[in-house]
Structure 1
Amino acid sequence: MKELGSSYFEYRKHKTDFKTEVIAGVTTFLTMAYIMFLNPVILADGGFDFGGVFTATILSIAVACFIMGFYGKTWPIGLAPGMGLNAFVAYGVCLGMGHTPAEALGAVLVAGILFVIISLTPIRAWIINSIPKSLKLGIGAGIGLFLAIIGLEIMGVVADHPVTLVTLGNLKSPIVLLGALAFVVMCVLEKLEVKGNIIIGIIVFSAIAWIFGLAEFKGVVGSIPPMTHLFQFDLGAALSASMATVVFTLFFVDFFDTAGTLTSVANVSGKIDSKGRVKDIEKAMLADSVGTVAGALMGTSTVTSYVESGAGVKAGGRTGMTSIVIGLLFLACLFFAPLATSLPKEIDGAALIYVAVLFVRNIVDIEWDDIAEAAPAVLAMIAMPLTYS
């Protein structure tokens, strides 16, 4: 594998080597490993089978990373079901609009196919440049606030109220307080530049909950859960007029999230040419879009490029071998389903709130002095959490 990688990925040309690529892959894996635990939790709330989503999540990550590695071979990118998009599918499409998981997966599939088609045409560049930067940032922040309110509800910090819609939950509950402490520790670990701060926080504080009897420990390894949603999509419903906005939303967010992630990674890895264009971006976007199609077929929400890939790039990752290492590491986690079901939802909620912070902090780049830029961004931000969509 080492020799194959050296010739196929051209390590010398990209000033890297096999060892560096492996270290980069491990680094990115640690920063995004939380998704294999959070994605099943979120989609299960929308009526999906927890075990089936757990398996689909890991397999879709592996397939998408392998495609990115072998086809987009100059991109050290990790891909997985996107946070925000999974929440939209579970809480917006399934719970809010009353669609079944099969209908939701059909919409994800159609959006993925649309992404594939556009990635193969010159329209791609036109779309990327047509949306104002501030609106893109506002949409990203809105997704973050949407995740935050879901995380607070999962934690038990807020609860339903018939008059005010939401109210404070039971803040005296030991497990709620433990979740709050987990969130604080995740933030502190990032400040200390500790890699894998989210997964460390989830595992450590879940262990504390198990030790003190605040949550049930069901084991670490077990059999691989069956893929209950494999090929279980309703394409007819997805192509109906009532699902048009859902398909557009899934495509829109995935497309611009991917473009933004690839651009940020390109800046770090030196993939911007003298004219400001990103080298080989068409290959990376096509690999990303095919990953979404594969994920929908397996039974999970939209697969997208992860901004956490920047951690691996900073560790020296420069080629698709980094992506392949990420995929292999996730495959090794297929047997951890009992561990995933043992994690207290309050700790999962803390991780979700932390991820929300990562989404929201980019609002610093909005042009606040220009009302034409600021107003649409703010409206996008506040509409998502308040409309729960």
Structure 2
Amino acid sequence: MDRFFRLTELGTTPRTEAMAGLTTFLTMAYIIVVNPQILAAAGIPPGAAFVATCLAAAIGSALMGVLANYPIALAPGMGLNAYFAFSVVGGMGVPWQVALGAVFMSGLLFFAVSLGGLREWLINGIPLSLKLGIAAGIGFFLGLIGLKNLGLVVAHPATLVGMGDVVSAPVLLGAAGFVLIAALAARRVPGAIVTGIVATALAGVPFGLTHFDGIVAMPPSLAPTFLAMDVAGAVTLGIAAIVFTFFLVDLLDNAGTLIATTHRAGLMRPDGSVPRLGRALVADSGGAMIGAVLGTSTTVSYIESAAGIQAGGRSGLTALTVAFLFLLCLFLAPLAVAIPSFATAPALIYVACLMAQALKSLNWGDETDYVPAILGALAMPFTFSIATGIGIAFLAHAAIKTLAGRAAEVQGAVWLLAGLSALKFALQ
């Protein structure tokens, strides 16, 4: 084990790696509750979605640990699951089976790109400002969904959105849960999000808002979603834009997470490159394809892995520990499916706050940089479409740079993505 994971070389021990894995797991375990609820909005049975979430996280994390030897865990991604359920299935009317086929095809495309030089060209060609804007925009999108699930934001015929019943029990309990999560996180308490979700759900019991039917049981059946993906439907012309969006967000999300976590762990090379990047992206793309086969939205690397790295995790043994813990969670289905939406809404809002931090790194002295990024970030929640926000950001970046007399600064990758976005808007 020491030789395979290079523990001595990396200055770590099995005990340290195990504790780091536990820390990472506690910071991201909320996904086993939140993901099935979001996918249920797309019509996917919550029980099967729960099993698919746990298995996709376990397999994806194990792939990352074994193939790339990185202390990075994987699970179905926040933001992509919302795009899957609310934009693709809910907004466009695509059957969830076809949407799963699109996830599989995007993972296959990601895998193909990971094997060649196109990967580096795309990642390096997208300016940092747009990467930051996309990250923040997905956060705003999640925040809007969280506020809606909480009941704080409701539809309004005159102003589009309005304030809900702020003195209702679900809103008050959810607001208290958000404050608890933020306060625990400020105190650096591991598992702050999970603690907040569980505490909020328990607080709903006296009000008859939460109903528990046990904690431990055999896992639900995976049959409703296993191999239910419709790949044939996903390769039609009308789904091409969806496949591309899944692919692009997956690529940007994983690239950003790998760069951030390897830098924090001291694993990045002096020139800023990421060692074993190809293996890591193969693990990511493999996780995405396997997740689609199981029945969940795109599996990605989790930035919460930074918590385990902070606890000393340096090798793939940390990721394998996370994988083992997700397998144990398969037997906690009654607890997961009993958590009401007002208890998970605070987690969505808090994750939105975390993702919005990306905006602080924008170059606020250059309008050609920050304006397209902010425009794309604003477009995501207000059009209720991550794909639309991304397309607007690329088009605005290319147009503003060109009219400002700085067209030479627009990379080839941006021109390509802007052109594809324009084609998508023209055909929709």
Q: Shorter-chain TM-score: what band?
A: over 0.9
1:55 Cα shift? 0.4
User: Residues 252-301 of structure 1, C-alpha deviation per residue, up to 9 Å, x if partnerless?
Assistant: 01111101101111111112222221111111111011000000000000
Which residue number in structure 1 is paired with residue 309 of structure 2? Answer: 313
State the Cα RMSD in Å.
1.0
Tell me, yes or no, if the aligned pair for 1:158 and 1:167 is still in contact at 8 Å. yes
In structure 1, C-alpha distance between the alignment counterparts of 2:271 and 2:63, rounded to whole Å:
28
Q: SS in structure 2 opposite 1:166?
A: strand
Mapped contact 1:30–1:196 kept (Cα < 8 A): yes
Is 1:138 equivalent to 2:130 in the alignment? no
For 1:33, give the aligned amino acid.
Answer: A
Write the distance in 1 (CA, Å) between the matches of 2:325 and 2:130. Answer: 36
CA contact (8 A) 1:218 1:341 kept: no
User: Is 1:128 the counterpart of 2:123 in the alignment?
Assistant: yes
How many Å apart are 1:206 and its aligned residue? 1.1
1:293 aligns with 2:289: yes
1:196 to 2:191 alignment? yes
SS at match of 1:80: strand
Q: Which runs of 5+ in 2 are unaligned?
A: 386-428
The Cα shift of 1:207 comes to: 1.2
Which of 89, 92, 95 aligns to 2:87? It is 92
Alignment partner, residue 333 of structure 1: 329
Amino acid at match of 1:94: V
2:6 corresponds to which of 10, 30, 36: 10
Q: Is the Cα–Cα contact under 8 Å of residues 101 and 230 in structure 2 kept in the other structure?
A: yes
Structure 2 residue 26 is matched with structure 1 residue 43: no
* In 2: Cα distance, 1:354 partner to 1:305 partner: 19
- Number of the residue aligned with 1:214: 209
Partner of 1:170: helix, strand, or coil? coil
Aligned match of 1:57: 53
**One-letter code of the match for 2:173?**
L
After TM superposition, the structure 1 = structure 2 runs for residues 1-389 of structure 1, keeping only pairs within 5 Å, are: 5-73=1-69, 75-227=70-222, 228-389=224-385
Report the Cα offset of residue 9 of structure 1. Answer: 1.0
Q: Could you tell me the TM-score, scaled by structure 1's length?
A: 0.97
Secondary structure at 1:182 match in 2 = helix
Query: TM-score under structure 2 normalisation?
Result: 0.88
Structure 1 alignment gaps of length 5 or more: none
* Inter-partner Cα distance in structure 1 for 2:40 and 2:187: 33
TM superposition outliers: structure 1 runs of 4+ over 3 Å: none
One-letter code of the match for 1:79?
Answer: L
Deviation, structure 1 residue 212: 4.2
* Separation in structure 1 between the aligned mates of residue 91 and residue 270 of structure 2, nearest angstrom: 47
Contact 2:185–2:192 (Cα < 8 Å) also in 1? yes
Say whether the 8 Å CA contact 2:151–2:170 is kept in structure 1.
no
Helix, strand or coil for the counterpart of 2:227? coil
Kindly provide the amino acid, as one letter, of the partner of residue 115 in structure 2. L
Aligned residues of 1:159 and 1:167 also touching (Cα < 8 A): yes
Task: Report if the CA contact (8 A) 1:115-1:251 is conserved.
Answer: yes
Of stretches 118-127 and 23-32 in structure 1, the one that deviates more from structure 2 is 118-127
For residues 374 and 87 of structure 2, the distance between their equivalents in structure 1, rounded to whole angstroms, comes to 20
Q: Percent identity?
A: 45
Q: Which has the higher contact order (CA 8 A, sep 6+)?
A: 1
* Cα deviation, residue 163, structure 1: 2.9
